[in-house]
Chains A and B, each alone.
Chain A
Amino acid sequence: MATIEQVAENEQHPDVALVASAREGNVRAFEELVSKYDRQIFRIAQHITQNREDAQDVVQDAFLKAYEKLDQFQGNSKFYTWLVRIAVNESLMRLRKRRTGKMVSIDDDIETEEGSVPRDLADWSPNPEQNYSQSELAEILRKTIQGLPQGFRVVFVLRDVEGLSTEETAETLGLSIPAVKSRLLRARLQLRERLSRYFRMKKAGEK
């Protein structure tokens, strides 16, 4: 879901006023920011931690940390991007705790060469999602994306699902722009390949 509004450069993003007001102690303004972005932060956290409780904790911790550090927020990046960066770091910290101190970074499992070249080249049925109920489809989408290496998954989620630009994704994850681009391509191709198992056009006689 691309939820970031495209705002003309000379127009002020609505978050700017909310952030300014929250900085002056207006808790309601901050509450508005929470309502606006909590779902996205939850999704991102859940994609990284793969754990519902952890993702909920991340939502809480990320917003509290943002509130605490509001004074340090530089107006040169978007509030949302800044918040996402906090949430990504909080999520990685949670993962680390679960794995009892083992270092965790977004580069884990990145070496895989799978998916660089498309193999399943069968076309999909016209509206493949219609062959499944909403809950079946959600399960397929979850299982499929969970199988991606972390470093690909998080790039795909930020860039394609949450609508960050390539530059914002790079900034948020501390990656170079070429690294984001190469991960995005491989993430998209791997997801496509994996979804193909469910969505490919069935040949006559196939169940």
Chain B
Amino acid sequence: MTCSEFLALLDELIDNEVTSETRALLNEHLRGCDHCEVTLSTTRKTIEIYRSHEVYELPNPVRERLHAAIMAKCKHGC
């Protein structure tokens, strides 16, 4: 397996959507390729870091104001 073949299956590997045969091939490639190993681990980390950190927060006072505005309109039939 070449690095570009590995890369083409990177998402499937990360999202656990590969068959066990493909996974074995991918793992075999990883054992001999530091570059792809780093690409895999840092891409996983990229996703994890975006999932676990709030990039845009909705502050509570704004949230309450928005709720009040939405619900006021809903009660009057929008």
The residues of A with any CB-CB pair to B shorter than 8 Å are 1-2, 27, 30-31, 34-35, 38-39, 42-43, 46-47, 55-56, 59-60, 63-64, 67-68, 117-118, 121-124, 128-129, 134, 137-138, 141-142, 145, 156, 160-161, 181, 184-185, 188-189, 191-192, 195-196, 199
Complex: chain B residue closest to A31, CB-CB: B71
For the complex, what is the distance from the CA of A184 to the CA of B38, rounded to whole Å?
19
Residues of A within 8 A of B47 (CB): 160, 188
- Residues 19-61 of chain B, each 1 if its beta carbon lies under 8 Å from chain A, else 0: 0000000000000001100110111011101111111101000
Q: A64-B78, A181-B11, A185-B11 are in contact. Are A128 and B46 (CB under 8 A)?
A: no
Residues of A within 8 A of B4 (CB): 117
User: B10 CB to closest chain A CB, in angstroms?
Assistant: 6
For the complex, what is the distance from the CA of A134 to the CA of B49, rounded to whole Å?
12
For the complex, what is the distance from the CA of A185 to the CA of B7, rounded to whole Å?
9
Residues of A within 8 A of B71 (CB): 27, 30-31, 34
Q: A31-B71, A59-B66, A161-B50 are in contact. Are A188 and B35 (CB under 8 A)?
A: no
> What's the tally of chain B residues with a CB closer than 8 Å to chain A?
35
Complex: chain B residue closest to A42, CB-CB: B58
Q: A55-B56, A185-B11 are in contact. Are A123 and B38 (CB under 8 A)?
A: yes
For the complex, what is the distance from the CA of A2 to the CA of B50, rounded to whole Å?
11
Residues of A within 8 A of B14 (CB): 188
The residues of B with any CB-CB pair to A shorter than 8 Å are 4, 7, 10-11, 14, 34-35, 38-39, 41-43, 45-47, 49-56, 58, 62-63, 66-67, 69-71, 73-75, 78
For the complex, what is the distance from the CA of A2 to the CA of B41, rounded to whole Å?
20
For the complex, what is the distance from the CA of A43 to the CA of B7, rounded to whole Å?
29
Indicate if the CB atoms of A27 and B56 lie closer than 8 Å.
no
Indicate if the CB atoms of B46 and A195 lie closer than 8 Å.
yes
For the complex, what is the distance from the CA of A199 to the CA of B48, rounded to whole Å?
14
For the complex, what is the distance from the CA of A36 to the CA of B35, rounded to whole Å?
41
Top 8 nearest A-B pairs (CB, nearest first) are A46-B56, A42-B58, A192-B46, A118-B39, A192-B43, A123-B38, A63-B70, A185-B11
Residues of A within 8 A of B53 (CB): 129, 134, 137-138, 141
User: B76 CB to closest chain A CB, in angstroms?
Assistant: 10
Residues of A within 8 A of B50 (CB): 141, 145, 156, 160-161, 191
Complex: chain A residue closest to B12, CB-CB: A181
Q: Which of these, B34, B51, B73, contacts A2 with CB under 8 Å?
A: B51
User: B55 CB to closest chain A CB, in angstroms?
Assistant: 5
Residues of B within 8 A of A38 (CB): 58, 63, 66-67
